[in-house]
Structures are given as structure tokens and as C-alpha cells.
Amino acid sequence: MKDHKKMQGVYLRVGMFSSLVIFAMLFSFVPYHEPKAYELNEDIIGLSDTIFTILDPIDEPPPPQDHPKVAVQADPQYADSAATTIPSSDLIENPINVRPKGPDIEIVAYYRLEVKPQLVRSAKPVYPDLARRAGIEGLTAVKMLIDIDGSVIEVEIIKSSGNTLLDQAAVTAARQHRFTPARQRDRPVRVWISRQFAFRLTG
């Protein structure tokens, strides 16, 4: 009985030689067919778009005059009458008071203040008639920037009531509040404080 394990190398060489012979015979006897060239079914036409831009002629400014115009002295007999043609106005100038902002005046956190602002005058918000008839209630929380004179110069909504009319009424009322000035290191400073405005229907 043959030992197939010992014959493994012989089998491998015989198999490889047989494969080479078979491939050589296939290449020798199978006829070669030359592939046909690809033919286009449709002619390809190249298109090119040309964009023509028509520029309007530019009107050149007239050339400067060689000699500048010379002012003509007015007739003395009309000088006094010309001066009185503009009537006097009763308008009184009322310039807008622009408050300084930025680094000129420091904004200090409320908990760091040496002298905290005190409420001098509060304003109750006006309940919007439309919201009252609709039975709308809510709570609006705002923060107010108190200036060095105790007035409120900025108001921001930090919690909306969910209704624009109620929020606007709260902002209007907050702007009408007055406080004593806040102080830090013996000088007035600005500070943010917060307050809530409740809108409740009674009766």
C-alpha cells in the first residue's frame, strides 16, 4: 500500500505540470478573435456658447474750466435787505442727553456693592386691555440697569410671561422706577437688579 503522505510532493509537481500543459494546449488550439472597434450610434456635436457684453458709453465729465469763477460783489443797496430776508425762528434747541456708556462708568455686580440702591419710586404696570378681555395672566421677570442718578436706563426680559403685551407692559413700568444711586469705593456706579411683575385678574 502506497504511503500518500510521502507521495504528497510528487502529486503536487504532477498537478502543476498537468495544469501548465492544459493551459498551453488551450492557448494553442483556441482561435484568437480580434475585438471589434466601438462604433458610436450618434454623432457628438460640441456646442459652445458665446456671451456678448454690450457696454453703454460712459459720459465723461466736462473738462475743467481754465479760469476759476470770480465772486462778484453784491450791490451795496441790496446788501441790507438781503440780510433781513430770513425771518427769526422761535425754535428752541433741545439736544438729546446721551448717557455715557462703556468703560467711562463701571457696572458692578449687586453682591459686591458697598452701598446698594434703594427703591424710591415704583410704577405699577398697566394691564393691557386686550389681554384683560382675553383673560390672559402671566408673570414677567426683568432686569434693570440703574444709572448713577438712580434712573433706569436699560431693561431686559429674563423670563417671559408668554404674552408680548404683558411683557411690554412690564418693561414700560420698569423704566419708570427710580432708585438711590449705588456706590462703590465712594463713587456712584451702575448696577443690574431684577424684579418680577405679576399680572393677575381678580373678580
Q: The domain that contains 186 carries what CATH number? A: 3.30.2420.10
Q: Which residue has the higher pLDDT, 78 or 4?
A: 4
Query: Would 81 be classed as within a structural domain?
Result: no
Arithmetic mean of pLDDT, 122-127: 93
Residue 199 pLDDT level (bands cut at 50, 70, 90): very high
- Residue-averaged pLDDT of the chain: 76
Per-residue pLDDT at 66:
59
Per-residue pLDDT at 203:
60
Q: Which of 28-42, 65-79, 142-156 has the lowest mean pLDDT?
A: 65-79
Q: Which residue has the higher pLDDT, 95 or 9?
A: 9
Per-residue pLDDT at 10:
78
CB-based contacts of 149: which residues, under 8 Å, 6+ apart? Answer: 181, 188
Do 150 and 180 form a contact (C-beta atoms < 8 A)?
Answer: yes
Residue 79 has pLDDT above 70, yes or no: no
Arithmetic mean of pLDDT, 132-136: 92
Query: Would 186 be classed as within a structural domain?
Result: yes
Q: Print the domain residue range for 141.
A: 104-199
> Distance from CA of residue 121 to its chain's centroid?
38
Q: For the chain, where are the E strands, in sequence order? A: 119-121, 138-146, 152-159, 178-179, 182-183, 188-189, 191-199
Per-residue pLDDT at 24:
81
Query: Would 150 be classed as within a structural domain?
Result: yes
Query: Would 137 be classed as within a structural domain?
Result: yes
Burial of 77 (0-12, 13-18, 19+ CB in 10 A): exposed
Taking only the tens place, the pLDDT of each residue in 10-42 is: 778 888 888 888 878 877 776 666 666 655 554
Alpha-carbon gap, residue 1 to 197, rounded angstroms: 109
Residue showing cell 443690574: 192
Query: Would 57 be classed as within a structural domain?
Result: no
Residue 191 has pLDDT above 70, yes or no: yes
Number of domains making up the chain: 1
Quote the pTM value.
Answer: 0.49
Alpha-carbon gap, residue 134 to 99, rounded angstroms: 40
